Structures are given as C-alpha cells and as structure tokens.
Structure 1
Amino acid sequence: MVDKQKSQAALNGWRDAIAVTHQMAASAAPVQVSDEPKRYRLELNEQQLEDAKKAFELYARVGLGQLDMLVDLVRMDVVVRAGIPESNDERYERVEVLQAKVDDMKRLFTGHSPNASYGIHSEHVHGSVKRVWDLYKVVAHTRAWEHQPEGGDGVHFRAVTPTGDAPPASLSRTSEGSAAYVISMNDSVELVLTAAEGPSEEAEKAVHQKMAQMSEAYFEKNGQAFADRAEYESRCQWHVRTVGTATLSL
C-alpha cells in the first residue's frame, strides 16, 4: 500500500512539472530566426593566400571561357606528365598539341576564337564565376597595396566593385602576434609551420632544425643524382622565411 502511494505521488509530481513546463513555453518569447546570410572567416598564411588567389583566378577565367588557362598549368609544370621522360623539344611539341585541342574545345563549347572570351558582366557568365572573380579581385587588391604601399596605376590598385550577387568579401591582416615559417627549397615551398604566439628565437631555432632534417632526408633519398654533398648544397638551396597571416571574411 505504501509503495502504491509513493508511485502515485511521484506520478503527480511529474504531471505538475510537465504542466509548469507547458506554461513556461507558452509565456516565453518566440525564438527569433535571423534572415541574415551566414558569414565565415578563413585564416591563411601568406603562401596559402597566394595559392587561393591563383585558384580564384583560374576558376573565374575558365568560367569566362578562357580555357587557355588549362594549358598554362602545363607550361608552368603545375600539371606534369608522370613516368615518361621527355626532352624540352618533346615537351614543347606536346604543349602545342594541347593548345590546338583546347582551341577546338573553346570553339565547340563557347563559340569563341582562341583569343576571345566572355566579359565578366555577360549574361552568359555563371553567377558563381562572378562571385569568385570578386574574391580574386579582393585578394589581388590587398596584395597590390601590401607590395607597393605608395600605390600605382595598375588595375588592382583601384577600388573593388562587386560584379556578383554576394556581399563583398573583406581581407585583413591578422594580429602581429601570429606568424608562419615557410621552409622552401629553390623557391619551392616544402612546409609551412605556424607559431601561434608569434616569432621568437626558440621558434626560429626549432624551424631551422626541422629544415636541416628535411634537407638531410632529401639528400639521403636523392643523393645519387649529385656528384657529392657540395654539388647538392650548391644546387638545392634551403631557406626559411617568416610571413604574416591574413583573414578572409566571406
């Protein structure tokens, strides 16, 4: 009998709690759902920012019908032929064949001659191409003023006017407290290390130790390509440089 009374009391308690919850929900202010579009922030080091600029430009220009950009990737050795050695003459001939095929593709898909393309304001240009073109302009504009603070006559020094339907993006340097160390060999970036608390003697020492390890590992793997250690060190120049970071708000 006692257990039954306890069970009934517990049940009544749950009913009271549920009733109070319903009353609170009924009297609570309605949840406000914002119609504002979502915004994002992407933090990049200097090398990543340059790579992002190249990617933005590539997508936008190909979207405008400038398919020649694909050939440029081959000319710059971004796209390479694997497993088959070739001379410079053979490579040149192969690039020329590729250029002719791309010209044919351009006529087939856009109706344009090799040196023609759509303008950015054309109704035939996809909306995403215009938005990415705006991102490219924002990055190029900021980098132009960083490299030449006194300004200049180049197109990237002009104020950026959006062509797409998205709010303009913004790009700014992050606080000087953060930094990145870029390890490169012969101007080719091999590794980027971030120092969250900024540059310091301790961080630089650790980065140079890492570079020495990478150089040694490279020589052990590819040493047969060099007559001796001296030739390797003269042909493979390893460097460390410190760069800042940037925040791209989209």
Structure 2
Amino acid sequence: MSLVLDGLAVGHRRGRRARPVLDGLSAHAGRGELTVLIGPNGSGKSTLLRTLAGLLPPLRGAALLDGADLLGLAPAQRARQVGVVLTDRPDGGLLTGRDVVALGRHPHTGASGVLRAEDHACIEEAIDAVGAGALAGRRLQELSDGERQRLLVARALAQRPSLLLLDEPSAFLDVSARVALLGLLRRLSREQDLCVLLSTHDLELALRLADRAWLLDGDGGFVADAPDVLAAGGAIGRAFDTEELAFDPGAGVFTLRET
C-alpha cells in the first residue's frame, strides 16, 4: 500500500480565483520506502507537502493513502494517520523531551486528553525507535537542533501514522547530524512499514539514501522515479545545473565546470 497522487494540483486560492503552483501531479510513494521530494528553491515542495498534510486545500485532483481519500479526511482522522514534521524550530518552553513526544498521542486520547497505559507504551517505543532515551528527561530548550529533530520525529511516530511527511527536516543541522537523520528515517520506513516523504536540499545525500525521488524542475515540471534513473536520464542535471556546477550522474555528485 502507498501514497498515490492522481492529477493533483496544489497552490493558493483568493476568493474564487485559484493560482496553481503545481498541476497534474501523478506519482506514488510506497510503504517501507524513503521518498525524497527535491527541486530548486521556489519549485513548490513546501506547498505540496502542506497540501498533503491538510494545511492547504487542494485545487483539484486526488491523493490516496492506502486507497482512501487522504485529502478528504476529517482533521481528527488525519491526525491519527499522518505524522508531520515542519521546518519550524519550536521553543518548547519547559517541556521535556518526553512531554514533546507525548503530544503525538493526543489524537488518540479523545476529549479527556488523559494518557492511558497503551499511550505511554507508544511514547516509550517512539523514543526508543529514534534512540532518544538520553534526551527524554531534558528540556527541549536545552537541546541542540539535531536532538530536537529526533524528538519531533519521535512525536510523529508516537501517532502511529501510516504516512510521515517532513519539510526540510535537516535544514538547521550540521553534516553529521543530517546524515544521521536521513539514515534514521530510511531505517524507520522499513522497520515500521511507513510511507516516508520528505523534502530536502541535501541532494547528493538524498539520492544515495532514497528509494524513490519526486523531482520538481522549478518550471512546474514533475517527474518521479528511482534516483539512479532520474540521474542517468539527465533529469537531475536539467533541474539543478548552473553555469558553475554540473551534476555528474555516474558519481552522483556536483562538479565544477571547467573554465
């Protein structure tokens, strides 16, 4: 089972007027796989993710999650099936790491908000899954960006979602933390049979770790395939090459053009 886009258009509405950013999107992202959403700045990555997360209304078309209408889910249903990690850097106040992860269980607690034994078990499992046991008792404001991101991923996992959406999760991390986070998400997709879709500017790393890539070219174009297929076919180069840099599909890296 998977996430399927069928003729999806995303963008913005003002009154009755719609301004599409992307149109006619058709692709799939499978369970047990890491799918990366890549493209130049301003190509529509965040708009697409926010639409799938229910934060923006779709303009037309469909998105199906395990065969059900993702875009038509009621907010309470969506909160149980879709975990979301955005680029924002939360303050957290006096919340501990465990408190943050516990927020992921509230879609399942009902109006009372009372955590039951099974909720506490899900919280501890999510903390263990991301290797954040040593962070659980510390306040969020005391943690590094990489440590916070681990806990935010754990919060999303505590929801027990089918789909995990992440918008630039490594934006504020150093190189080693970026590698660790993307490796973690790849492992979790397999261990928990999750459909993981994330946007990233870490192009070379993403192409090495991802099972599938959705590529936006910055001009409204969209293509989805295995990373090596996109690289070999020239789609990566056409989207990202500049006068100074060129993507080498054989090595999977950008190289300086000779002058």
TM bracket, shorter-chain basis: under 0.3
When normalised by structure 2's length, the TM-score is: 0.22
When normalised by structure 1's length, the TM-score is: 0.23
More helix by share: 1
Work out which of the two has the higher radius of gyration on C-alpha atoms and give 1 or 2.
1
More strand by share: 2
